[in-house]
Amino acid sequence: MSFVIAAPASGSGKTTITLGLLRAISRISPVRAAKSGPDYIDPQFHAAACGAQCVNLDAWAMTPTRIKSLASGKVPLIIEGAMGLFDGAPPDGKGATADLARILGLPVVLVIDAGRMAGSVAALAQGFINYDPNVQIAGVILNNVGSPRHEAMLRRALNDIPIFGVVPRRPDLKQPSRHLGLVQAIERPDLDTYLDAVGDLIASTVDLDRLLALYLEGIRPEKSSGMAPPAQNIAIARDAAFAFSYPHMINDWQNAGANITYFSPLADEPAPQADFIYLPGGYPELHAGRLAANTRFMDSLRQTSAQVYGECGGYMVLGEALTDADGRSHKMAGLLGLETSFATRKLHLGYRELQCTNGPMRGAWKGHEFHYATTVKSAGSPLFQAKDAEGSALPSMGLINGNVSGSFAHLIDAA
């Protein structure tokens, strides 16, 4: 049993349905999760729901062989899509959830938010079923259904289209969110209670046996070369402020023989002795005052001879100052000529093709950018030459200063 959970559009309830399925099925047998595209937050919830690491599968940034390698395994896999089923990067929609379904040969279960429709649900479902013969839509899960009468109208309209479940409207299960998405799983003290609640809901409203019978062959394993580690001994920041790292990247490093240690900047832990110190993205802007006061952490960055590399939030911490949403400026590590601010927010979003000729991340990369910070000052040597998903040249990204480098780009895979 492996399949893809997709929807006609964002906001249809894919994540809640996926979490409920993972928790409900994990009570019966082991199950794995994956997320389509660049996302750090949903996979945290997936892992908590099923008790297994969640991987990202990115049909824009990864080759089909790489995707099959990451997806393969004997344990069933549920993939949560992103945006609408056929929505991908410009100009041709590459990277859509449908691409994963084609590459892996998996059936799609379409989650439809039926809260504001009745007979029109059939036109919507039929349109998706008939749109691409290479994408098999096995059936639908109806979400946000208001009453038994509403359900009966939807079932009559759908006629012979398979319905795997009918999930009632449950506004009490809506998850809290902030500017980059859901509030992180690590920040939810009620996480298990919430996951049990959605698991109970899905177990009582979705036909799990029919879903479990969808695809029994499994995904055949394929070998793929992973990303080479930037050093032998790697220290990675990991806590609520630095949680945005991709498991497949760290797994690649470990599989190649690198030694990985973790530390918490929020707990004022100094970076351990290492050849490479990695500050991933996250939410440092929410903890800027605390980080600025954590001298053991900051001094360990200033005094090390190791390569220090920051992505997005980690990049901002390597700069001179970070201004929070309330307009307060906080002194950062001062290792790059960078000042950033959340006082005036602006969305930066999109896939990136990156080329680096200096520093520890040399080579060609596929990555993405997703942040609201504005750059007040950027002085020094650029780190990456960049293009967008359409191949158009962008301004250079990031900075490098001796053994310290970083950018707002999140690296997904080697190009």
Residues with a catalytic annotation lie at 312
SS3 label, residue 362? coil
Residue 35 structure tokens: 């997320």
Alpha helices in 72-190 (DSSP H): 97-104, 120-131, 148-158
Token pair 């999760």 in the structure block, residue: 33
Query: Three-class SS of residue 169?
Result: coil
Return the number of other C-beta atoms located less than 10 Å from residue 212's C-beta. 16
- List strand residue ranges (DSSP E) for 275-362, in order: 276-279, 307-311, 321-323, 329-331, 337-341, 348-356
Alpha-carbon gap, residue 225 to 182, rounded angstroms: 32
Q: Which amino acid, one-letter code, is at 191? A: L
The dihedrals phi and psi of 230, each to the nearest 5 degrees, come to: -75, -15
- Using alpha carbons, select from 386, 357, 366, 355 the residue that is nearest to residue 246: 366
Closest CA to 409 of 288, 296, 261, 246: 246
Backbone phi, then psi, for 393, in 5-degree steps? -65, 140
